[in-house]
Amino acid sequence: MPEDPEDFLLLNPGPVPVTDEVLQSMAEPMVSHRSSAFEAVYERAQDGLDYVFTRSTLDGESTSEGGTPLILNGTATMGMEAAVANLVDGDAEVVSLVNGKFGRRFARIADRYASVTRVEADWGKSIPIEDVRDAVTDDTDLVTIVHNETSTGLLNPVAEVGEIAAEHGARFIVDGVTSIGGDEFRIDDWNVDVAITDAQKALAAPPGTSAMYVAEGVEDAIDGESAPFYEDLDWHLRKAAQHQTPFTSAVPLFRALAVAVEDIVEETMPARIERHRAQSRAFREGFAAMGLDLFADPEGSTAYSNTVTAVSLPESIRGDDATDFFDAVKARNVSISGGQAHLGGEIFRVSNMGRLPTEQILRGVRTVGEAMDDVGADVDLDAGLDAAADELDAEADAVEA
């Protein structure tokens, strides 16, 4: 039975649901982006981002001795390009790890600015650390990696790769777009020079802005004139010291981001990490008990994502037949995502980023099970719901204890 049409549930891996307070902040009267009122907004957002970037651990202790969070007037792809373009020139050598769409995007960006060596694995598979050791040399200037590969539901081994980069004196840029704000992230421990995240993902703000953390000491290596004019990080860093951006800021989106990160500070990163991990386990256990197979195949230090779950569609409904399944989900006023590129019609993906309550995780599991049943796939919905509920109950008991 379809849900109440007024009760829309967004389970895409971005954009994610935002709170009423975040929405309301965007309706405040407009002010100049060069006013003290806007500077106060930027400072609030920057302070919250500093907390998120540096205290994303289970103990809440700082993982950075110093650095600068920047807010960008553009989504995270802008941040990825800015990080690469400001740290390399045409003679530079970059090693890019690729096992999904966004690792491939990072490599394609780097191709425009340097000579790139790709360390690749099939999408959804783990990249062997030994292959990374073979590729990174003393001539390597930069290493790029996607921490949480949104296209496949894999959490890549940033700590191990960062150690290799540091051993060879290479700069290390990390796409933390769907991990920062929802999972553990350690700037100094992982030798991260630049980290990038997106407003519309685990930060639970509207799309349109992104954030970057430039670790201490990296500023001296930045060459803004080598980058696109709009992405000159020297300029962004100077303006950030004044709680400003170089160009006209998207004032309502900055307000929304400020509220969203303040919500994270209030929840605390330790609690947020534990919640996201419990919810991702609920999705994984629920779908597995239902009889579905997870898509990703982690080995070694690679793990399942704690913010995005990718599930293989049953053979009987793959390809063109997958449309009926997604239509059945949509009929229940729920939005999930399919596979990207060659994975279209092969998998579906659900997100638990943001502030989803328990009942919405269970509704996601139930909706998938009911839609599978509608299209003739053999699943055990009750078993799936019971398994998901057990994981969520265990987390609730742990919080109360």
Instruction: Indicate which CATH number applies to the domain containing 146.
Output: 3.40.640.10
Amino acid at site 274: E
Instruction: Give the neighbor-by-neighbor strand order of the sheet with 293-294.
Output: 293-294, 308-312, 347-351, 337-338
Q: How far is CA 232 from the centre of its chain?
A: 24
pTM: 0.95
CB 52 within 8 A of CB 203: yes
For the record, the structure tokens of 167 come out as 């051993």
Structural domain includes residue 94: yes
Q: How many CB atoms lie within 10 A of CB 63?
A: 18
pLDDT at 300: 93
CB 268 within 8 A of CB 382: no
Range of the domain at 185: 20-267
Asked if residue 4 belongs to a domain, the reply is no
Please indicate, yes or no, whether residues 207 and 130 belong to a single structural domain of this protein: yes
Q: Which amino acid is at 65?
A: E
Q: Are residues 229 and 276 in the same domain?
A: no
Q: In what order do the strands lie in the sheet with 115-120?
A: 67-72, 210-215, 194-198, 171-175, 142-146, 93-98, 115-120
The answer as to whether 288 is a domain residue is yes
On whether residue 44 sits in a domain, the answer given is: yes
Query: Within this chain, do residues 92 and 234 fall inside the same structural domain, yes or no?
Result: yes
- Those residues whose C-beta lies under 8 Å from the C-beta of residue 202, and which sit 6 or more positions away, are 16, 178, 179, 180, 181, 182, 183, 276, 307, 353, 354
Residue 217 sits in the same domain as residue 187: yes
- pLDDT score recorded for residue 394: 80
- The CA distance from 242 to 210, in Å, is 18
The answer to the question of residue 341 being in a domain is yes
344 occurs within a structural domain: yes
User: CATH number of the domain that 291 lies in?
Assistant: 3.90.1150.10
State which of 267, 295, 315 marks the end of a domain. 267
Whether residue 217 sits in one domain with residue 77? yes
**Location of structure tokens 């790709």:** 118
What gap in Å lies between CA 175 and CA 145, rounded to an integer?
A: 6
For position 4, what pLDDT does the model report? 52
pLDDT score at 1: 46
Mean pLDDT of successive 10-residue stretches along the chain, which has 401 residues: 68 96 98 97 98 96 94 97 95 97 98 97 97 98 98 98 98 98 97 98 98 96 95 97 96 98 98 97 98 96 97 96 97 97 97 94 97 96 97 76 53
On whether residue 160 sits in a domain, the answer given is yes
Please report whether residue 1 resides in a domain: no
Looking at the structure, tell me whether residues 48 and 85 fall in a common domain: yes
The pLDDT score that the predictor gives to residue 5 is: 53
User: Are residues 126 and 215 both part of a single domain?
Assistant: yes
- Same domain? For 286 and 228 the reply is no
The last residue of a domain, from among 243, 267, 291 = 267
Q: Do 256 and 197 sit in the same domain of this protein?
A: yes
**End position of a domain, from candidates 242, 267, 292:** 267
Q: What are phi and psi of 57, to 5 degrees?
A: -140, 165
Same domain, 216 and 333: no
Q: What is the pLDDT of residue 399?
A: 65
Closest CA to 214 of 69, 318, 78: 69
- Residue carrying structure tokens 């989900």: 329
Q: Rg of the Cα trace of the chain?
A: 21
Q: For the chain, what is the domain count?
A: 2
Residues 261 and 294 in one domain: no
Outline where 291-380 has alpha helix (H): 322-331, 358-374
SS3 205: coil
Q: Nearest-CA neighbor of 88 among 225, 195, 289?
A: 225
Residues 182 and 130 reside in one and the same domain: yes
